[in-house]
Structure 1
Amino acid sequence: MRAASWSALRRVAILLGVFAAAFVAGQLGTWLHAPLAWMIGPMITTAAITLLFSQRAPPALLRVIGQLVIGGALGLHLTPDAFDRIIANAVPIIAGALILTAAATAYGVAQSRLFGVHRATALYSTVPGGPIEMALLATQNGGDGARTALAQTLRIVFVVLVFPPALTIAAVSAPAVAIAAGGWWDTALLAAIALAAGLAASMVRLTSPFFLGPMMVVGALAASGIPHATHHAGVVPAAQILLGVSPGSMFRRDLFRGAGRFLLGTCLSTAFLIAVSAMVSLILGYLYDIDLATMMLANAPGAVTEMVITAEVLRLDVATVASFQFVRIAIALTLVGVIDRFLKQHRPA
């Protein structure tokens, strides 16, 4: 057998080993009744393996599969009442998005000066958005795409590690209705709908297309009163493993070398954004009578996929969290480019 074939087999074997370890970690977390065990356990385990053995990231297709499964399952929560709540909360949704984006942008500009980081790298690293989307924007504007992706991933990991346990300990979850597991035919039909929706959403360049596309299409069907069961038991935990392994694999050793000041700035920006999001959640929750747990996840500076999954696991208002997160990321992706171009025209990089 050729050397290339042996190398490919070795990579496959190592990847299977990573997922086996991720499964064990998820199962252990379940036995310990840890919140979001099937995503947090694999995330931590994969990060440790990647740092210790310089393991390559798994194929991006695996995260896409996880997003398709979870997006379709969560779309079933978008009932007619949920859509009414989204429309009723239009003002706090936009207000929260603008405040958090403005705060993150201001910190990004300050970080570039205080920590000697290239402005584009600091800006696109600090404003919460998808790691891939922000990394591409940073690269296009002269920044460091790899470090931008790392900073975005670090913040998401920190938020996922902090928010679910904190909300669980505080016992502030709302009484949402759980959706019963379905059979394999239900899984097949839901997966087909999710795939078609994801492909359509990617064609129109929707943010997180393979998550939000299925969620919106299945949600529209649910809001129309078309009944459908969710995936077979075990399918959703498997998808959460795929989503947990993905950010964990970002922790490559080469990205940490010589990045002390940058990582310090990232940690401080995460703490700053969590504090701002908590303040915004308290104020908007009080003004618009939305429960605090839902508002904390809705405004959390994480990623839409992870935050919506957390809302579902904690039985919170999935529709509200999804709408806040989606609008914030859409506004951030739009405004951060405008602000970056403005700064280039008026100040030196």
Structure 2
Amino acid sequence: MSGALPLPERAKPIAALTLAALAGWLFSLLNSPLPWLIGPMLVVAAAQMLGADLHVPRGLRFGGQWIVGGAIGLYFTPPVLAMLPGLLPWIILGLAASILLSMLAAKVLAHYAGIDPVTALYASFLGGAAEMANLAERSGALVDRVAAAQSVRIILVVVLIPFAFRWADLHGADSYATASLVFDAPGFVLLMGATFAAGLVCHLLRLPNAWLVGPVFASIALNAAGHASSIMPVALVDVAQVLIGCSLGTKFSREFFHAAPRFMLVSTLCSAAVLLGSSLGAVILGWLAGLPAPTLILGMAPGGIAEMSLTAGLLQLGVPVVVAFQLTRLLVVVSSASLMHRAAMRWLLR
């Protein structure tokens, strides 16, 4: 693609979205898990590695997160909300295990990739990629390395877990369902309006993953108040996945792995090790708590809330439980990353 004529700047988002939509359609024909997310992500990333130089406005990914967040919150029916406090001890234990794994990964990354401990820490923290990059910049870390490591980890998890679950034929029979099973136009308008307003407020307050977290909480509030009278249309959720997958794919470029091959290799291996460690921890936690291990694997996976929740919904693996684990980790890690950074520096410098 390097010999092709460069696209005008205005045409690049259209080209990226067209390629992403075609990739989603193709992967759906191939019966891939999460085809409308994984297909666009992989194909657009491949095009980028070949020199396509595509990009999409950040607002499109925010739009995808808004839709997915609204859909996720519909699973939090009053009986589910009443059940969640009983999960708190296990959520805290899972959070502690995730933080320990990220610290160990940072130690290995700093030692074997030859980078400073601050960059290693923010590259290994299991928080949102954008949030970790922003915090890394304030702490004097190498922002490009942090963003690269976080992006690779998310893509690795998003690809490996759904395909591994498909290969192992892991499906749940969890009784979780959305508050409504039908489409209702007035209820849908209320859902979209409330979730958009919540996302905008969280964005203005600079909360982590604002356009996902805000709509999730707004959707939960509608459920709790008994006003969730409509489902989120499946086609709209598919469009949201295309937007998210396309945005993730555009993070890559031809120079992505060439700039620091040793760092990227060690970072990828660390991400794989953290995924394996979190999966083993989830199996043990599931045995102790009497919860399905596949559900906890998704809840503790070092991926994003949207991607893991979509996988849980596809496989009927307890979406509310997955969201509770993932959301708690995101909020705690992002809010305390600077504190953990200071606390871990002496150990990392040994």
TM-score where L is the length of structure 2:
0.91
Are 2:233 and 1:232 aligned? Answer: yes
Q: Deviations over 1:97-126 (max 9, x none)?
A: 111112211220232122211212111111
Q: Deviations over 1:165-200 (max 9, x none)?
A: 222232332224366462665543322111101122
TM-score where L is the length of structure 1:
0.91
Shift of residue 232, structure 1, vs aligned partner: 3.5
Shift of residue 27, structure 1, vs aligned partner: 1.0
Structure 2 matches for 1:151-300, cutoff 5 A?
151-175=149-173, 176-177=176-177, 180=181, 182=183, 186-300=187-301
1: distance between equivalents of 2:300 and 2:348?
31
Q: Is this contact kept in 1: 2:219–2:228, CA < 8 A?
A: no
Cα distance change of structure 1 residues 343 and 291 upon mapping to structure 2, 3 Å threshold: closer
Shift of residue 72, structure 1, vs aligned partner: 0.7
1: distance between equivalents of 2:143 and 2:161?
27
Q: Is this contact kept in 1: 2:110–2:116, CA < 8 A?
A: yes
Shift of residue 344, structure 1, vs aligned partner: 5.0
Gaps of 5+ in 1: 1-6
Shift of residue 255, structure 1, vs aligned partner: 3.1
1: distance between equivalents of 2:154 and 2:135?
18
Residue 307 of structure 1 corresponds to 308
Match of 2:37 among 18, 24, 39: 39
Q: Deviations over 1:307-333 (max 9, x none)?
A: 112112222211110110011122222
Match for 2:16: what amino acid?
V
1: distance between equivalents of 2:331 and 2:141?
21
2: distance between equivalents of 1:163 and 1:183?
34
1: distance between equivalents of 2:348 and 2:237?
48
Instruction: State the secondary structure of the residue aligned to 1:11.
Output: coil
2: distance between equivalents of 1:190 and 1:214?
9
Instruction: State the secondary structure of the residue aligned to 2:50.
Output: helix
Residue 3 of structure 2 corresponds to none
Residue 19 of structure 2 corresponds to 21
Cα distance change of structure 1 residues 299 and 348 upon mapping to structure 2, 3 Å threshold: closer
Root-mean-square deviation (CA), in Å?
2.2
Residue correspondences, number: 342
2: distance between equivalents of 1:42 and 1:184?
29
Q: Give the fraction of aligned pairs with identical amino acids, expressed as a percent.
A: 32
Instruction: State the secondary structure of the residue aligned to 2:8.
Output: helix
Cα distance change of structure 1 residues 222 and 112 upon mapping to structure 2, 3 Å threshold: same
Match of 1:73 among 61, 71, 74: 71
Shift of residue 233, structure 1, vs aligned partner: 4.2
Residue 333 of structure 1 corresponds to 334
Residue 4 of structure 1 corresponds to none
149-158 or 189-198, which deviates more = 189-198
Shift of residue 347, structure 1, vs aligned partner: 7.4
297-306 or 309-318, which deviates more = 309-318
Q: Is this contact kept in 2: 1:173–1:315, CA < 8 A?
A: yes
Shift of residue 341, structure 1, vs aligned partner: 2.0
Gaps of 5+ in 2: 1-5
Instruction: State the secondary structure of the residue aligned to 2:211.
Output: helix
Instruction: State the secondary structure of the residue aligned to 2:255.
Output: helix
Q: Is this contact kept in 2: 1:303–1:325, CA < 8 A?
A: yes
2: distance between equivalents of 1:104 and 1:258?
24
Q: Is this contact kept in 2: 1:151–1:266, CA < 8 A?
A: yes
Q: Deviations over 1:277-316 (max 9, x none)?
A: 1121111101111111111100001111211121122222
Structure 2 matches for 1:109-128, cutoff 5 A?
109-128=107-126
Q: Is this contact kept in 1: 2:117–2:345, CA < 8 A?
A: no
2: distance between equivalents of 1:342 and 1:160?
30
